[in-house]
Homo-oligomer: A and B are copies of this chain.
Amino acid sequence: MDPGAKSNLKIAEKRGQARALPNGTILFMSATVSTDSAVAKLRQRAYQINAVSMAIGLMDWDQQCYMPPGGADARAEHIGILSQMKFDLETADETGRLIENAEREAAPNSEDAAMVRVMKRSYNLATKLPPTLTAEKNRLGALAHEEWVKARKNNDFATFAPWLEKMFDLTRQEAECYGYTNHIYDALIDLYEEGATEADCRRMYDTLKASNVDLIKAIGESPIKPDDSKLYGTWDESKQRAFTEMIVKEIGFDMTNGRQDTAPHPFCANFSTTDVRLTTRFKDYIGSAIFGSLHEAGHGMYEQGSPKKWDRSPLAGGVSLGIHESQSRTWENIVGRSKAFWSRFLPRLQEHFPSLSDFDLNTWYSAINKVQPSFIRVEADEVTYNMHTLVRFEIECDVLSGKMSIKDIPGAWNAKYKEYLGVTPETDSVGCLQDVHWSAGLIGYFPTYSMGNCLSYQFWNCLTRDLGDVDAMMAAGNFAPILNWLRENIYQHGCRYQPKELVQIVSGKPIGAEDYLEGLKAKYSEIYAL
């Protein structure tokens, strides 16, 4: 043990020269780049923004996975300060100048041009809001969050209503600052899914609704009632950890360039394309860990598949929330809830958990695909999920455009749940107060979940056309062709193309709900003998 190296580290830092890590490794500062290339200068600025962003990301990850309870206050302050630094870097006049210069220099349609485009978009979005509006929303958000916690606890929408009113007002002002052509919602959804519009969402949801509501009804009326009661119980955590690590490794998540930890709410964090962190959780429903791990591994493999050459740059990683979700849903639902997948893994699962030995492949397949309309979005199955986001989308649009007043939200919410899902929330706490997002002014992105669902099947159909009998591959544990197809067709493009361009490149058509609905119908007609 070398008890001094660690303290020395502080001093080395102070001297601004070297970084002595506790194991004696010495890290040296990046040499100052002296180059005349405007693109190279902009890239250096991007690397700075990335470094601060990754510091924040690591603080998040640590907070969810390992931070002792006492660390929360300082962590909030640290993240606050670093977020401000990041914002200052992104919106600095110097950043604007670097972008202008690089824009003149980059060859049209080059990778450099794509990088400049992505940075310009971020810069424009960040600089369009007046600081006073941002500050007001921050303050309101902090207070509204507390009010939301209380309101949900007390099932008291009325006292939360004025806060929500104000939050929608500020979001409306924001949208006006960002600007839009057709619908105010366009300005907001674009923040999360570049180029998407209210009309796109409406088109997708119209198709979804027409078919999905009928499917849900038909399933409800089917005499077949899959029994998943044996999936609830007490499950040894270390066995769950071992099993989920085994499956995410087998499908292709690379543990040399990643890891899996436990967190209260599963997520995927990445600090480079070669350092991607999954988290999972262990609950009384055995599927929670399994499908959570597969879902996050889908996000993670997208990040791991981003080209190394773009690492730490604006072109690295997943391009939008919708495309990202398409990948998590592919591995969670299309692969992870398939019969072929479980023909391989059910025996191994039963080795870990003998109490599941009563299941055969068919009863297990039905059980993990049980459709059950509920009030709660985050627990929704594959068939009902989109109806949850539809409710939010419709209400957000109507409130933003002034067609619905805040006080009418609970009534509208419950009516829509009845219409689309056939259930009525017993309280607002499990109804319109269930999500944290509105209290924080995070309005305009629920449709990206449904885009992900639709795109997962849309891309999968292209994949199976190219690869042939994918079921046989999965049953044999041969996941490499699947992952390679996704890498070659999607992941290798990083953020080079806008989401809509990418969808066109991959599937030869714009996003639609048709492939998804066909896929669902085929799958659930079999399970429920429709």
- Judge whether A520 is part of the interface by a CB distance below 8 angstroms: no
Asked if A445 contacts B60 (CB within 8 A), the reply is no
Of residues 15 to 66 in A, which have CB atoms within 8 Å of B's CB atoms?
15-32, 47-48, 50-56, 58-60, 62-64, 66
Considering the complex, give the chain B residue whose CB is closest to the CB of A2.
Answer: B378
Copies in the complex: 2
Q: How far apart are A483's CB and chain B's nearest CB, in angstroms?
A: 17
* A288 to B2 Cα, complex, angstroms: 12
Bound complex: CA A58 to CA B60 (Å) = 11
Q: Which of B14, B23, B60, B78 is in CB contact (< 8 Å) with A126?
A: B14
> A191 in the interface, Cβ–Cβ < 8 Å?
yes
Residue in B closest to A292 when the chains form the complex, CB atoms: B1
A54-92 interface (Cβ within 8 A of B): 54-56, 58-60, 62-64, 66-71, 73-87, 90-91
Please indicate the chain B residues that have their CB under 8 angstroms from the CB of A12 in the complex.
440, 442
- Cβ-defined contact, A79 with B27, below 8 A: yes
B26 touches A295 (CB 8 A): no
Bound Cα distance A85, B81 (Å): 13
Do A22 and B267 have beta carbons less than 8 Å apart?
Answer: yes
* Complexed CA–CA distance, A292 and B6 (Å): 13
- Residue in chain B with minimal CB distance to A69: B256
A262 within 8 A of B: no
* Docked pose: A52 CA to B82 CA in angstroms: 7
Is B68 within 8 A of A14, CB to CB? no
Check A476 for interface membership: any CB of B closer than 8 A.
no
Given that A78-B54, A141-B28, A265-B22 are contacting pairs, would A15 and B125 also be in contact in the complex, using a CB cutoff of 8 Å?
A: yes
Contact of A80 among B8, B30, B299 (CB under 8 A): B30
Contact status B15-A191, CB under 8 Å: yes
Check if A500 is an interface residue, CB within 8 A of chain B.
no
Q: Name the residue on B nearest A145 (C-beta).
A: B26
Bound Cα distance A438, B378 (Å):
56
Whether A56 touches B21, Cβ cut-off 8 Å, given contacts A81-B47, A86-B13, A126-B14, is: no
Q: Which of A179-187, A269-277, A366-374, A466-474 contacts B (4 or more CB under 8 A)?
A: A269-277
Given A22-B265, A58-B59, does the pair A70, B275 have CB atoms closer than 8 Å? yes
User: Which one of B28, B53, B269 contacts A142 once the chains associate, using CB atoms below 8 Å?
Assistant: B28
- Chain B residue numbers with a CB within 8 Å of A16 are 83-84, 86-87, 90-91, 126, 129, 134
Q: How far is the CB of A288 from chain B (nearest CB, A)?
A: 7
Are A55 and B53 closer than 8 Å at their CB atoms? no
- Nearest CB to that of A446 among chain B residues? B4
Most buried by B among A51, A281, A441: A51
Chain A residues 268 to 293 lying within 8 A of chain B, measured CB to CB, are 268-269, 271-272, 274-275, 279, 281, 288, 291-292
A78 and B55 contact, Cβ closer than 8 Å, known pairs A20-B442, A442-B20: yes
**Residue A120 lies at the interface, judged by CB distance under 8 Å to chain B:** no
A259 CB within 8 Å of chain B: yes
The digit string for A236-270, where 1 denotes a CB below 8 A from any CB of B, is: 00000000000000000011111101011111110
Given contacts A17-B137, A68-B255, contact A24 B90 (CB under 8 A): no
| Chain B residues in 8 Å Cβ range of A321 | 4, 7-8, 11
* Contact call B27/A73, Cβ cutoff below 8 A: no
Q: Are A30 and B295 in contact (CB under 8 A)?
A: no
Give bound CA distance, A42 to B220, whole Å. 65
The answer to whether A17 and B141 touch across the interface, beta carbons within 8 angstroms, is: yes
Complex: how many Å from CA A72 to CA B80?
26
Instruction: Write the A511-526 contact mask toward B (1 if CB under 8 angstroms, else 0).
Output: 0000000000000000
A26 in contact with B90 given A51-B77, A56-B19, A328-B3 (CB within 8 Å): no
- Does A165 have its Cβ within 8 Å of any Cβ on chain B? no
**What would be 6 A-B contacts, judged by CB atoms less than 8 Å apart?**
A2-B265, A4-B325, A4-B445, A13-B56, A54-B78, A66-B259
Other contacts beyond A14-B191, A21-B64: 16, CB < 8 A: A1-B266, A1-B295, A13-B86, A14-B122, A20-B436, A26-B439, A29-B87, A51-B85, A55-B56, A58-B62, A70-B254, A70-B258, A71-B257, A71-B272, A71-B274, A75-B275
